[in-house]
Chains A and B, each alone.
Chain A
Amino acid sequence: EVHLVESGGGLVPPGGSLSLSCAASGFSLSNFWMTWIRQAPGKGLEWVANMNQDGSERYYADSVKGRFTISRDNAKNSVFLQMNSLRVEDTAVYYCARHSGNFDYWGQGTSVSVSS
């Protein structure tokens, strides 16, 4: 059974940094693109970043480009999101999802709050 478990969320001041992790199980991570999607409180879903199987292709939403970095370690079945220069508007639940064009499996999310 496919499982994705995010961790690393928390409270951080504006301008701070946070690193999120997503542990994958039940499938071979090296066969799939992976994605981070976020949802601000009471709002809809926003695609943040994705990465192909070997990490040679990475794409970012304009809202996070230059501040966030997606990475992966297939040997450790993990995907990461390094978030720098955080802004209040980055406050959201961050979901890791398996990317098959659509997003067929999602983690439960980890909450990031950017506030002074």
Chain B
Amino acid sequence: EIVLTQSPGTLSLSPGERATLSCRASQSVGGSFLAWYQQKSGQAPRLLIYSASSRATGIPDRFSGSGSGTDFTLTISRLEPEDFAVYYCQQYGGSPRTFGQGTKVEIK
């Protein structure tokens, strides 16, 4: 099983700042099959990024993903008020599909 470790656990930033979230895998994620999700309080998760760097339909271009192998990054270039949420990475290069424990982006 591929274990995903996200850091930091909590990121305290102000609107307009840049957010950089990390996801590290315990072994290489085949095909860079890594996704990022955003979850706001009381809502279902929403797919942001798939295949490490492709934005899902309707996702603003301030969200970008990068990385390969065992190290992946989600970057939010300029935080908007609606971006404060919890973000999860998920790998689908191996079975079972696994999620990271999440990074909370909170307002500073």
A binding-site residues for B, Cβ under 8 Å: 35, 44-47, 50, 59, 61, 95, 101-109
Contact = CB atoms under 8 A, between A and B. Distances in A.
Given A44-B88, A45-B88, A104 B47 contact: yes
Interface in B83-108: 88, 90, 92, 95-102
A102 B50 contact: yes
Contact of A47 (B47, B96, B102): B96
A101 B99 CA distance: 13
List the 5 shortest-distance A-B pairs measured between CB atoms, nearest first: A102-B35, A106-B44, A101-B92, A45-B99, A102-B50
Interface of B: 33, 35, 37, 43-47, 50, 56, 88, 90, 92, 95-102
A102 B90 contact: yes
Contacts of A104: 47, 50, 56
A101 B35 CA distance: 9
Chain B facing A: main interface SS: loop
A95 B50 CA distance: 19
A61 B96 contact: yes
Contacts of A35: 97
Nearest to A6: B44
Contacts of A61: 96
A104 B45 CA distance: 10
B32 to A, nearest CB: 11
A47 B99 contact: yes
Contact of A59 (B45, B95, B100): B95
A85 B35 CA distance: 33
A61 B98 CA distance: 10
A36 to B, nearest CB: 12
A44 B100 contact: yes
Contacts of A59: 95-96
Nearest to B93: A101
A103 B33 contact: no
Contacts of B44: 95, 106-109
